[in-house]
A = this chain, B = another copy of it.
């Protein structure tokens, strides 16, 4: 999907990684193994998590704050759960902002409000630091396998090219989405579309099955017709239609319903800012919120909405 320039300007830099959660940990593991930077500094709010990482990767060093990461690294990746965490890591006490070196490159792979990405990028530019938003799709399996898709918002194609030198070690598809914030917008738009499609596929499959149709037959008809979508073809929510998808193993693994609910919430929020009507998006958001708080669904894949629909 892309061609690397032959030289690597970032190779000799020290890399910092903040946020070693379910996604960040395997991403950082791939990065340190494949990129083999001169130095690799890690930080997590939960220090034990960082120490565990160091146990596995001896060359990594643990520090106690984003500030210390900023002081010691010229390339920094952050992977955090919400916009609130991102703001705290960047502009809070002992945050990155207080220590960043001019000319540094900061990549935020968290999925957050695009306005936060834009605001922080603008603040960092005042310190001569380029910040790109680089949210991912592909889940924890993609993070482990290094096959994530990165949706990159950058102020120039050159900065996108530069980011690839790092991101390629964690992902397979690197997509340039335009200016800073656009990575978030692309990610959020895709996931809103996905969330609605999954509920639509669930309503449709459930309706057909309740009316007496064979699920595989129905899926086959949809998939050769105008009703087909990723959720019917690749990730069908009805058990038994496809092998090796969450619906065929009790909705375990996959993309958690609460993560989908969070992304739908972001979609509804940015839609509110621009007054773009997202009625189906808003209803889908409420449905995922209801499913994720229903006993037995808390840790399930988001396709479990199919089961929720027909559970008595």
SS class, residues of chain A in contact with chain B: helix
Tell me which of B177, B208, B265 contacts A186 (CB under 8 A): B208
Q: CA–CA, A311 to B196, complex, Å?
A: 22
Known: A189-B222, A230-B227. A182 touches B212 (CB 8 A): yes
Q: How far is the CB of A281 from chain B (nearest CB, A)?
A: 6
Tell me which of B178, B185, B217 contacts A177 (CB under 8 A): B217
| Residue A54, interface by CB 8 Å | no
Copies of the protein in its oligomer: 4
Please tell me which stretch of A10-18, A34-42, A123-131, A199-207 contacts chain B, meaning at least 4 of its Cβ atoms lie within 8 angstroms of it. A199-207
Interface size on A, residues (CB 8 A): 81
Q: Which positions 190-238 of chain A face chain B at CB distance < 8 Å? A: 190-194, 196-197, 199-201, 203-208, 210-214, 217-218, 221-222, 224-232, 234-235
A-to-B contact residues, CB < 8 Å: 114, 137, 149, 151, 173, 175, 177-179, 181-182, 185-186, 189-194, 196-197, 199-201, 203-208, 210-214, 217-218, 221-222, 224-232, 234-235, 265, 267-272, 274-287, 289-290, 292-295, 309-312
Tell me which of B189, B211, B224 contacts A227 (CB under 8 A): B189
Q: Are A213 and B177 in contact (CB under 8 A)?
A: yes
By beta carbon, the residue of chain B nearest A292 is B275
Q: Are A277 and B309 in contact (CB under 8 A)?
A: yes
Q: Are B204 and A193 in contact (CB under 8 A)?
A: yes
Q: Are B287 and A275 in contact (CB under 8 A)?
A: no
Q: How far is the CB of A225 from chain B (nearest CB, A)?
A: 5
Q: Are A190 and B226 in contact (CB under 8 A)?
A: yes
Tell me which of B114, B173, B178 contacts A214 (CB under 8 A): B178
